Every structure is written in C-alpha cells, then in structure tokens.
Structure 1
Amino acid sequence: MVLALLFAGAAAVASSGGGAPEGARTPAADSADAGFARDMSVHHQQAVEMSFIVRDRTKDADVRRLAYDIANTQANQRGMMLGWLERWGLPKVAPDQQPMAWMGMPGQGDGHGGDGHGAKAPLMPGMATEEQLAELGSASGRDAEVLYLRLMTAHHQGGVHMAEGCVERCGDEVQRKLAQGMVDAQESEIALMADLLRQRGAKD
C-alpha cells in the first residue's frame, strides 16, 4: 500500500512537469539536462527498491524511518525528472547512450539491467549489483541493516557525484537547484548512516 502511494505521488508530480519553467529552452536529447534526468531516475529507482527491501527485513525504527524518507523523497524526485523529459518531448530511455556519457564518463563495472538484447548495461557509480540486491533480500535484522546502510552509503556517494555533475553542466536552472538539493540532502544522510553503522559496531 505504501509503495503504491509513493509511486502514485511520483506519477502525479511527473504529470505536472515537476516545476520545469514554461517556455524554457528545450534541451537536446544528448544534453546534460536530459542525461541527468534519465540516469538519476534509474539511480533513484534502485534506492527506492532497496529501501522497501530493508523495510521488510528489519524492525529497527531508525533504519525503517530512514528507508521511508529515502523512498519517499527519491520517488517524488524521480517523478519530477520523468515529468521534465515528457514536457521536453525527450525519451525517458536512451539505449543508444551509455550511462554517464553526459558527464564524459561512461558507466563503470559489469552490468545491472540490460539493453533488451541480452547485453548488460554498465553500472552507474554507487549502483548495487543484482547479487547485492539478492543478498539484501535474504538478510534480516542487524545483517540487513548493516548491508543496507553500506549499500545506500555507496549509492548516495554515486548520486552526489552525478548531482554535482548536473550542477556544473545542466543548463536548466530548476534542474540545477534540484541537483544541489540532492547533494545537500544525500551528504547529510551519508553522515547519518555512518552514525547508524557505528551504533551497530560496523564500519561504513
């Protein structure tokens, strides 16, 4: 029920265009604006997925609260970015473009996901692998909490790197402001997760 409500809210934000300015210059399909919106939407989707996995694997109030906050925030931001792409008349998926190409650095590592032809697309910075997601889904209690906090810390670090790239490269002022907000919020959550890991006798 909560997951359905979150994605319903994200869809409502997307349909409204997420605050993109009327009459603004439409970015090119290979621009930083479009690349950031597409890549960060995928990045956010995984954060939401991990957060709902850990919600069902622990009863710890602090971790569940953090997971809910991350899922709620990132589902809504994802809706905004998909809404911008729709308003700009640009595709939400660009299989011919490598992740992070708009930053001059294609995705790294072995694949997560694919291109529809059996080939796996490179991972973006901070993205968990399918094996790590499966491990999180099979863990419980403290083990699930520690794994989630470690995976989400790396995920946020990758997200901050990408958002900083948009702050530097994106032409849309509204999008740059959202990206800076992501940097600030995720850096704060990284510090919080380090504290939660220390409380559990684990290193970040």
Structure 2
Amino acid sequence: MARIFVAVAAAVALLMLGAALGLLIRVPSFDSAEPKPTAVDVGFAQDMSVHHQQAVTMATLARERAADVAVRQLAFDIETNQRDQIGRMQGWLSLWGEPAQAVGPLMTWMTADGGHDHTAPAAAGASSGGLMPGMATSAEMSRLQSLRGPEFDVYFLQLMLRHHEGGAPMADYGATHAALPAVRELAKNMLGSQRSESDLMRSMLSERGARPLR
C-alpha cells in the first residue's frame, strides 16, 4: 500500500510539474515582448522610402548614361542598395497595416518628443511642395536627363551628394528614436554606407574640378 501511495504521489507531482512548465512555455514574458512600431518607425519607413526612390531613379539613369565607369559602378551600388532598403521598409509597412506613403505633412515623426505629436508642423527642411531635404526639384531632374558625357557625370555626383547629405538627419533620427531594433539597425546601416559614398563623391567631384552644390 505504501508503495502504491508513493507511486501515485510521484505521478501527481510529475503532472503538476509538467503543467507548470507548459504554462511557462506558453505565456510570454512582458520583458521579452517585441515593441510595437511607433510614429517614428512608421514615418521613417514611409518618408525614407520616398527619399530613396528618387535616388534610385537618378542612379538608374547614371548606370545607363554615365561616361565614366567609376560613376556607373557607384550608381549601380546606390541603386542596388537603396532598392533593397525600400523593399524592406515597404514590407514592414505592409506587416504593420500602414500605408506605403505618409498621409499629410512630411517628416512630422521627427519631433522633439520622439514623433508622438501628430499635430506638430513638418520638421524643419521639409518643403510644402513635397520635397524632403536634399531631394532634387523637377527642374533639376529634367536638366540631369538632358545632359550627356562628363557634364552628366558631374551633375549626377552633385545631385546625389546633396541627396545623401539631406537624408542623413532622417537616418540619424531613426537610428536614435525608432522603437524597433530592426528599424534602428537599418537606419544605422544607411548612415554608414551613405557617409562612405558621400566621401567618395566629394573626391570624384574634386578630381573633375567641380564642387558640391549649395
């Protein structure tokens, strides 16, 4: 009888232990929960996608038209890298159930309180015409499309350098204020690659006797 009692008690103890372990496995810890995307995550993905798309347009043109093979290689690298980044950002927006582009003023996510004030005016540098810092105007894009040879190469480098420099504060803000680690990491990678490309473009302009746009 004693042996039966011990066996039953052991079985009950094992069942209770299994149930407890099952609860621990099924119920997630609040400490490990994935943070939700904030206005910064969403706004960064939306606005940077638009900013990147113009760079892709310019780089595609340069890859096909630039006279210098070094400029064509740079254009290929920019086009490839930024297409990939657009795909990632648009994929996130789809997963979050957010529109591909912002509805309303640009760059409102770059506010002092981390992007939570949806009534704040557009961040400094964003124009009412829909252009973010560094972006080329329609007239500048038309001029780029009209050029050929070394003159095209120089103007492409000037426009793309300004484009990179204009987008840097957006990437820096995203790297610092985004809630999701993946968004912060992408923004940091953008900063690193575009700083290297900007240094290269300054050097290429200097070699051609040209200066950056102001």
Q: Does 1:103 align with 2:113?
A: no
Counterpart of 2:26?
none
Please state how far the C-alpha of 1:58 moved relative to its aligned partner.
2.0
Residues 103-182 of structure 1 aligned to structure 2 (within 5 Å): 103-104=110-111, 105=123, 108-109=126-127, 111=129, 121=130, 123-182=131-190
Q: Does 1:26 align with 2:36?
A: yes
TM-score, length basis structure 1: 0.79
Counterpart of 2:206?
198
Please state how far the C-alpha of 1:90 moved relative to its aligned partner.
1.2
Residues 54 and 136 in structure 1, CA contact (< 8 A), matched pair in contact too = no
Partner letter of residue 103 of structure 1?
A: M
TM-score, length basis structure 2: 0.75
Partner letter of residue 109 of structure 2?
A: W
Q: Does 1:86 align with 2:94?
A: yes
Residues 50 and 101 in structure 2, CA contact (< 8 A), matched pair in contact too = no
Rounded Cα–Cα distance in structure 2 between residues aligned with 1:76 and 1:107: 26
**1:111-136: per-residue Cα shift (whole Å, max 9, x none)?**
2xxxxxxxxx3x11111111111100
Residues 100 and 107 in structure 1, CA contact (< 8 A), matched pair in contact too = no
5+ residue gaps in structure 2?
Answer: 1-32, 112-122
Rounded Cα–Cα distance in structure 1 between residues aligned with 2:193 and 2:181: 18
Which of 35, 44, 47 is matched with 2:52 structurally?
44
**1:167-193: per-residue Cα shift (whole Å, max 9, x none)?**
121101111011011101101100000
Rounded Cα–Cα distance in structure 2 between residues aligned with 1:145 and 1:193: 11
Residues 59 and 78 in structure 2, CA contact (< 8 A), matched pair in contact too = yes
Please state how far the C-alpha of 1:110 moved relative to its aligned partner.
5.4
SS of residue in 1 equivalent to 2:200: helix
Residues 62-73 of structure 1 aligned to structure 2 (within 5 Å): 62-73=70-81
**1:81-100: per-residue Cα shift (whole Å, max 9, x none)?**
0001111111112222x111
Residues 27 and 33 in structure 1, CA contact (< 8 A), matched pair in contact too = yes
Partner letter of residue 26 of structure 1?
A: K
Counterpart of 2:65?
57
Rounded Cα–Cα distance in structure 2 between residues aligned with 1:137 and 1:110: 25
Please state how far the C-alpha of 1:203 moved relative to its aligned partner.
1.2
Counterpart of 1:16?
none
Rounded Cα–Cα distance in structure 2 between residues aligned with 1:62 and 1:202: 16
Rounded Cα–Cα distance in structure 1 between residues aligned with 2:126 and 2:175: 21
Residues 36 and 180 in structure 2, CA contact (< 8 A), matched pair in contact too = no
Rounded Cα–Cα distance in structure 1 between residues aligned with 2:124 and 2:107: 5
Two-structure CA RMSD over aligned residues (Å): 1.4
Partner letter of residue 146 of structure 1?
A: V
Q: Which has the larger radius of gyration?
A: 2
5+ residue gaps in structure 1?
Answer: 1-22, 112-120
Rounded Cα–Cα distance in structure 1 between residues aligned with 2:197 and 2:127: 25
Report the count of equivalent residues.
Answer: 169
